[in-house]
Structure 1
């Protein structure tokens, strides 16, 4: 495997983490980490299993979530280890309190400072600290046309269902 392949594998873990959080795919979140990894994530510090439970609790009232991962810098520290810094922009929208009610949208700018390792041929997060730059909340009213395909924070989202069973 080349260093370019290693970079793509590491970036794939980062992107899969973002999708997993946004779709509330708890198993996929945990799969991005090694079992003994430590994550320092705002008020939470602990292992991946605990992080999954923390996300399960914190995201129960969030009806829309998007994590954008950019500026991924990988510094290899050995054949099977790397320090990785990634910028992240998060949009977390609280569920409405009633039909058509305004919603709070948290916009968070942060960076993931990760230690990645390759174990048994697979790259994963060995340790992470989330470094926060800004968190702000704005009030929004969702004007999405109800006839458009909408996202879902579960396995019914089109990323999992579109084209399934249609020979795709």
Structure 2
């Protein structure tokens, strides 16, 4: 193998690794935007003509953050979307990804909650050098409900744990991060 061939192979491998990372970052950005009620961040994970399928509804991707914020804000005190296993097939500027997800939701009143387990089945496209979601189809395959209590049996309110906020006052946005910031349950 010539030096030119080795460099070309290395460049192709680096592009694949870079694309995979950008795709996974896009998927994680979507979840973070939903949990922090950052509609702008959520919108940044979709192309302008992207779609997000929710049950039988298809919501324009750039508006999904606002849609999700309204639904989550009405029903839940807090929510966390966790992306776990992730597979991705890349073919040029189109990728198909399957990402397992766990959505945890603390009901209003903080006494009960639920876990939804499912998958994000995404078609992503690289346009103008940036990977974004063109179509997201979400599945729900397991749904659990129960009492929202710590291992001690105590409910979250009054526990003293740091509480996340559903906006840019969340500690994750603080730069630099200090020990003086944040509200408690």
What's the TM-score, normalizing by structure 1?
A: 0.86
Counterpart for residue 86 of structure 2: 72
Using CA pairs under 8 Å that are at least 6 residues apart, name the structure with larger relative contact order, 1 or 2. Answer: 1
After superposition, the C-alpha distances for 1:42-83 in whole angstroms (9 at most, x for unaligned) are: 253121144233212211132211111011101112x21110
Counterpart for residue 31 of structure 2: 18
Q: How many Å separate the matches in 1 of 2:123 and 2:101? A: 16
What's the TM-score, normalizing by structure 2?
A: 0.78
Q: Where do residues 1-168 of structure 1 align in structure 2 (5 Å cutoff)?
A: 2-61=15-74, 62-77=76-91, 79-96=92-109, 103-141=111-149, 142-143=155-156, 146-163=159-176
Structure with greater proportional helix content: 2
SS of corresponding position for 2:166? coil
Q: How many Å separate the matches in 2 of 1:147 and 1:132? A: 33
Task: Please identify the structure whose Cα radius of gyration is greater.
Answer: 2
SS of corresponding position for 2:162? coil
4+ runs of 1 displaced by more than 4 Å?
A: none
Q: Report the number of matched residues.
A: 160
- What residue ranges of structure 2 are gaps of 5+ in the alignment? 1-13, 150-154, 179-185
- What residue ranges of structure 1 are gaps of 5+ in the alignment? 97-101
Task: Check whether the contact 1:68–1:89 (CA below 8 A) recurs between aligned residues.
Answer: yes
Counterpart for residue 99 of structure 1: none
Query: How many angstroms does 1:32 deviate by?
Result: 0.4
SS of corresponding position for 1:51? helix
Task: Check whether the contact 2:84–2:100 (CA below 8 A) recurs between aligned residues.
Answer: yes
SS of corresponding position for 1:129? strand
SS of corresponding position for 1:136? strand
Task: Check whether the contact 1:71–1:87 (CA below 8 A) recurs between aligned residues.
Answer: yes
